[in-house]
Amino acid sequence: MRDLLTGDAPLVHLRLSVVEGSAPREVGAEMLVTAADQAGTIGGGQVEFRAVARARVILEQGIPQDSLTLALGPDIGQCCGGRVTVELTALDPDARTAMLARLDAAQAPCVMILGAGHVGRALAQVLAPLPCRVVLVDSRAAELAQAPASAEHRLTAFPEAEIDQAPPGTAFVVTTHDHGLDFLLTLAALKRGDAAYVGLIGSATKRARFTRFARETDNFSDLSRLTCPIGAAGLGDKRPAVIALMTAQEIFAAFAHTAKGTP
């Protein structure tokens, strides 16, 4: 979206303003359309196909604004039984600037991965196209050098300081090369009290050992926010890419619960 907004091509902004019943996307879902390109989605399928076609008519005919209402079942044969209204607006320079400012102001949730080994790097790769900010922390330059460039790299001998400075609602995933360090970092993330997710790589045995460590080290016993083992460990699949995929699912479920105000 940012690339289209800063480009030269005329643009139409599409936004779902009304959603009744079952529909692929929610009110506020949006996209941008040019004569030859598009970004974002209002749900795909026939709704989006028809809305994009209408947007290109707007561009061709110089219409400033329009709307399109579709009954998803009777009108276009989609399985969803709802009804949606799409507002279409040709963006003038001021509107483009305002939308750019809104995009810049929007703060994506943060995922901090502590440990850039096989699982940490795989998780950073899985998260790369998703709507979040990924921070990968390690003391080993060689491991960070192998990580996706899409993540922010933090080379530091004091990863606990990165935990302290992370924004509220961060998801912390601890996957270091040292069990003792894993325990220290996991305890630091849990003690913040505002993490959306705290995940520790390992097993049921490792969770039990961490529980004893937390109680003996700092008399800390609130492990309700701890996920250990993370990802696909419960399925018996220990391949880093599979664990990463399942962990990403856990993280975004946690973000959704946080947004709704549920634990």
pLDDT digits (tens, 9 = 90+) for 166-187: 999 999 999 999 999 999 999 9
- In this prediction, residue 106 carries a pLDDT of 77
pLDDT digits (tens, 9 = 90+) for 183-228: 999 999 999 999 999 999 998 899 999 999 999 988 988 898 899 9
Of 59, 92, 70, nearest in space to 16 by CA: 70
Considering the chain, tell me which residue range(s) the CATH 3.40.50.720 domain(s) occupy. 110-260
The CATH class given to the 110-260 domain equals: alpha beta
Strand partners of residue 89: 13, 65
Strand partners of residue 87: 15, 67
Q: Is 263 helix (H, G, I), strand (E, B) or coil?
A: coil
pTM for this structure?
Answer: 0.77
- In this prediction, residue 50 carries a pLDDT of 93
Q: Is 13 helix (H, G, I), strand (E, B) or coil?
A: strand
Phi, psi (degrees; rounded to nearest 5) at 221: -130, 0
pLDDT digits (tens, 9 = 90+) for 111-166: 999 999 999 999 999 999 998 999 999 999 999 999 999 999 999 999 999 999 99
Strand partners of residue 133: 110
pLDDT digits (tens, 9 = 90+) for 9-22: 999 999 999 999 88
Query: How is residue 167 annotated by DSSP?
Result: P
